[in-house]
A and B are shown apart, each in its own frame.
Chain A
Amino acid sequence: MELSKYVSDGTTVITLCGELDSSTAPRTHGSLEELLPEEGTVVLDLSGMSYMSSAGLRVLLLAHRRAQRNGVGLVLASIPEEVRMTMSATGFLEFFTVAGSVAEGVGVLSG
């Protein structure tokens, strides 16, 4: 799992690339804790995610909760179809604001 971060139009964009499962979840959780901004807005770009396990969903929800606590707007962008199905079937999807692309996500957050 690779994470990287850049800023687009004042919004922090964090890209997640690879598999998010129990073996990568602890490290990804730690990285997100560091990368998530304390204020402002953030888009998590999931377009490069090839697999999301149960532990992965929990990492995303923890990130969402943390952002909520800090008043940071958070959007999930470009969720791959299989990941989206998993999130939808288990109800995780409904916690999140979702966008089709990073640009759309940035737009949602600045709008």
Chain B
Amino acid sequence: MTGTILPKRIDTEPTSTIAGYSVRPGRPLPFGATLVPGGVNFSVYSNHATGMTLALFRRGELEPMAELRFPESCRTGGVWAMTVFGLDPETLQYGYRVDGPFQPERGDRFDPERIVADPYAALIGGHETWGERSRSDDPYPYRSAVAADDFDWEGDRPLRLAREDLVVYELHVRGFTRHPSSGTTLPGTFAGLVEKIPYLRELGVNCVELMPVFEFDEMENTRIHPETGQPLHNYWGYSTVGFFAPKASYAATGRHGMQLDEFKNMVKQLHRAGIEVMLDVVFNHTAEGNEQGPTISLRGLDNRTYYMLTPDGYYYNFSGTGNTVNCNHPVVRAFVLDCLRYWAAECHVDGFRFDLAAILGRAQDGTPLANPPLLEALAFDPVLQDCKLVAEAWDAGGLYQVGSFPDYCRWSEWNGRYRDTIRRFVKGDAGVTSDMATRFIGSPDLYGGRGTAASVNFVTAHDGFTLRDLFSYNDKHNDANGEQNRDGDNGNHSWNCGWEGGTEDPDVLRLRGRLARNALLLLLTSQGVPMLLSGDEVGRTQYGNNNAYCQDGADYWLDWSPEGSDQDLLRFVRRAVAFRRAHPVLRGGRHLDGRDHGGPLPNVSWHGVRAWTPDWSAHSRLLAAMLYARDGERDDCVYVAANSYWEPLDLELPELPAPLAWRRFADTAEEPPYDVAESGAEPWLADQARIRIGPRAVLVLTADRKTSDEE
């Protein structure tokens, strides 16, 4: 079959020459630089600029090879667009000089002496090698470049897994495989992550949440390590330089300008393995900082549009990092939407976690909005319809919206309440058992009507202690960050189990291992979406540092060696994740209401030392829940008991309707490998009526049909 082939387009011929280059008025849409027949279409907008010049560079050369001022014929309103012919897209870098007033008191900071990056650039050149500082004489250190946007997806689509079925694994692309023990051929890169897909499969997670992968400058940190004198990095990268550009130094092929291909291949390979990709996106602030910060892109294009400014032109600082993006300005809103659409449509990303998302709900003067246009636009956008949207529902300006984030029946939240309660419960605080029960069933007090998947449950995340450190330190130990331990959160709800930090004491170590398992087991049997922090499954430590944003080194990367990783714990986590997958009753989308819905047992029931008799009093440290659902012909029944009291307790078990009988999946009071069974191969309980739960232990049972020959 042959289709009709039309004659050549009529807009592929130049109409004039500027600075020696053949050009014609360009097309304002799409924004950014787009490959068109014979050339590149450049489109850039600014509502307050008075003129625009395109600077063209040859890769590797400091100074521009040409500067092309946009003629009036290339301007449509506040958009300048021009097609330039005869460029080599692979060696081309470009930027803009923007004319306009420098009047900070009015919010304008135009500076035509500088060249600024295209906010829509899909590639940013100049920082392809991790840890390399910009040249001090470089007039333009973050260089926009044009990406090849064709890619052979071979039919790949976003996976569209049900939110409540997710097990999220939060990881740092570099830290995940950079350690010499990782055994990857391309450590610390998107390609290195692909090499570890079998590990993720075996772990059982089905969503990776990548800490920032948009281009950032890890060298922007000016602090030094107080002991070694070495410069500290911005290792985490919560400081965006280019919102459309995958970080070049996270790609083994970044030096060839192929980071976008490498990123897309990573997504494609993860999808093949049944693993979704969620990006941690930072729209609350940028790398341009406050009045003293560098002018990279947005500040030079239209400062007062992109940033929240005080009446006298200074930067509001709701992000704690110097500036605040003016998210609910219509232009910025459209920019954020363009950006997310790009990652979803062009790169097949499955979802986004929004850093300090409460800022996204503030008005242009910082006031929290009841119905923030940006959040509403994201919730109802057709391109993003299948994307997970997860809010970190607080900001550094004191807005805390866990449970009250404007959700439009669409948004999920990092449930900070879950994190705080489970930590306090597991370490044995009094008076938190009933709150723990509420968290365990998906926080219906916070998310009633929104479903359990509105709650992303976690014990640890990149911010704060690792799981191992949570039970090894009472206090943060952040001296290595160069701020005399002043940085980082003081409220950790942690407990060192009797000794601050590293120890050989077997009793202390045993207790720490048990508390970590208690937390993991509760997390993985709770209603809602569990999120694991990468490395917690093998007992990764940060030596008590609860704000390791600047610590880039072998001591902080994930150690893959058998001696550097807790293999017993890894087996425990794998099996607990598999157990969650095997039991739909643990991940229903609706909140459980305690009724039986025509079945033999309520969907959730609460117990205590005596069956059917929970103790919700302030001194009780025992939580026992039985979950039941009819899954087709099968009964799906799980009993979870958590004892954070320091003595053992004898529990009466709820009687099961015949022929169901109890099997023991996990008991954290047991030493490995007896702490956990393989899901589906759990041993039957000899005594079906009673069971002893150890001190500070979690016990998980499951009920199965038992025939008389299975004794």
Q: What is A's interface to B at a CB cutoff of 8 Å?
A: 21-23, 53-55, 57-58, 61, 85-86, 88-92, 95
Contact, CB under 8 Å: B90 / A53: yes
Task: Judge whether B269 and A91 touch: CB under 8 Å.
Answer: yes
B189 sits at the interface (CB 8 A): yes
Expressed in whole angstroms, the Cα–Cα distance for A57 and B260 within the complex equals 14
- In the complex the two chains form, is A21's CB within 8 Å of B186's CB? no
**Cα–Cα, bound, A53→B262 (Å):** 13
Residue-wise interface mask of B (67-103) relative to A, using a CB-CB cutoff of 8 A (1 in contact, 0 not): 0000000000000000000001111000000000000
Which residues of B sit under 8 angstroms from A90, Cβ to Cβ?
Answer: 191, 253, 258, 261-262, 265
B265 with A54: CB separation less than 8 A: no
The reply to whether B265 and A89 contact each other, CB–CB distance below 8 Å, is yes
Contact A21 B90, CB 8 Å, known A54-B256, A54-B257, A85-B252: yes
> B148 at the A/B interface (Cβ < 8 Å)?
yes
For residue B710, CB closer than 8 A to chain A, the reply is: no
- Other than the given A22-B88, A85-B253, A89-B265, 14 more pairs (CB < 8 A) read A21-B90, A22-B89, A22-B90, A53-B90, A54-B90, A54-B256, A55-B90, A57-B258, A61-B152, A86-B258, A88-B185, A89-B253, A92-B261, A95-B152
Min CB distance B479 to A, Å, is: 38
B150 at the interface (CB under 8 A from A): yes
Give chain B nearest CB distance to A93 CB in angstroms.
Answer: 10
Q: Which residues of B contact A23 (CB under 8 A)?
A: 88, 90
Chain B positions within 8 Å of A92 at CB level: 261
* B514 lies within 8 A of chain A by Cβ: no
* 30 pairs of residues in contact across A and B, judged by CB atoms under 8 Å: A22-B89, A22-B91, A23-B90, A53-B90, A53-B256, A53-B257, A54-B90, A54-B256, A54-B257, A55-B90, A57-B261, A58-B150, A61-B152, A85-B253, A86-B256, A88-B186, A89-B186, A89-B190, A89-B251, A89-B253, A89-B258, A89-B262, A89-B265, A90-B253, A90-B261, A91-B261, A91-B265, A91-B269, A92-B261, A95-B152
B268 on the A face (CB < 8 A)? yes
Choose among B148, B252, B257 the residue that contacts A89 (Cβ–Cβ < 8 A).
Answer: B252
- Highest count of chain B CB atoms <10 Å: which of A61, A88, A91: A91
- Binary contact track B228-253/A, C-beta < 8 Å → 1, others 0: 00000000000000000000000111
Question: Given that A89-B191, A91-B261 are contacting pairs, would A55 and B269 also be in contact in the complex, using a CB cutoff of 8 Å?
Answer: no
A97 to B185, CA, bound (A): 20
5 closest pairs, A vs B, by CB? A91-B265, A89-B191, A22-B90, A90-B261, A89-B252
Q: Which residues of A contact B258 (CB under 8 A)?
A: 54, 57, 86, 89-90
Question: Of A53, A54, A61, A88, which one neighbours B191 at CB under 8 angstroms?
Answer: A88
Please report the C-alpha to C-alpha distance between residue A92 and residue B151 in the assembled complex, in whole angstroms: 10
CB neighbours of A91 from chain B (8 A): 261-262, 264-265, 268-269
Query: In the docked arrangement, what's the CA distance between A94 and B262, Å?
Result: 13
Complex CA–CA separation, A66 to B654 (angstroms): 67
Tell me whether B90 and A86 are in contact (CB under 8 A): no
Q: Hey, which chain B residues are within 8 Å of A89, CB to CB?
A: 186, 189-191, 251-253, 258, 262, 265
- Residues of A within 8 Å of B91, CB to CB, are 22
Residue of B148, B186, B264 touching A54 (CB-CB under 8 A): B148
Q: B569-591: which have CB < 8 Å to A?
A: none
Residues of A within 8 A of B261 (CB): 54, 57, 90-92
- Per the bound structure, the CA–CA distance linking A36 and B148 in Å amounts to 25
A55 to B261, CA, bound (A): 11
In the complex, the answer to whether A85 meets B150 with C-beta atoms within 8 Å is: no
A57 to B258, CA, bound (A): 10
Bound complex: CA A88 to CA B261 (Å): 11
CB proximity to A under 8 Å, residues B288-337: none
Q: Provide the B270-303 mask, 1 if CB < 8 A to any CB of A, else 0.
A: 0000000000000000000000000000000000
Nearest-CB residue, chain A, relative to B257? A54
A71 to chain B, nearest CB (A): 18
How far is A58 from B269 in the complex, measured between Cα atoms in Å? 19
| A86 nearest in chain B by CB position | B253
Residues of A within 8 A of B253 (CB): 85-86, 89-90
What's the Cα separation between A27 and B189 when bound, in Å? 33
Closest residue to A55 on the B side, CB-wise?
Answer: B90
Chain B residues lying within 8 Å of A61, measured Cβ to Cβ, are: 152
In the bound complex, what is the Cα–Cα distance between A21 and B152 (angstroms)? 19
Taking the closest CB of chain A, its distance from the CB of B165, in whole angstroms, is 27
List A contacts of B150 (CB < 8 A): 58
In the bound assembly, the distance between CA atoms of A95 and B269 in angstroms comes to: 13
Report B-chain residues with C-beta under 8 Å of the C-beta of A88. 185-186, 191
The interface residues of chain A lying within 8 Å CB-to-CB of B269 are: 91
Nearest chain B CB to A85 CB, angstrom units: 6
**Most chain B CB within a 10 A radius of its CB, from A23, A54, A88, A90:** A90
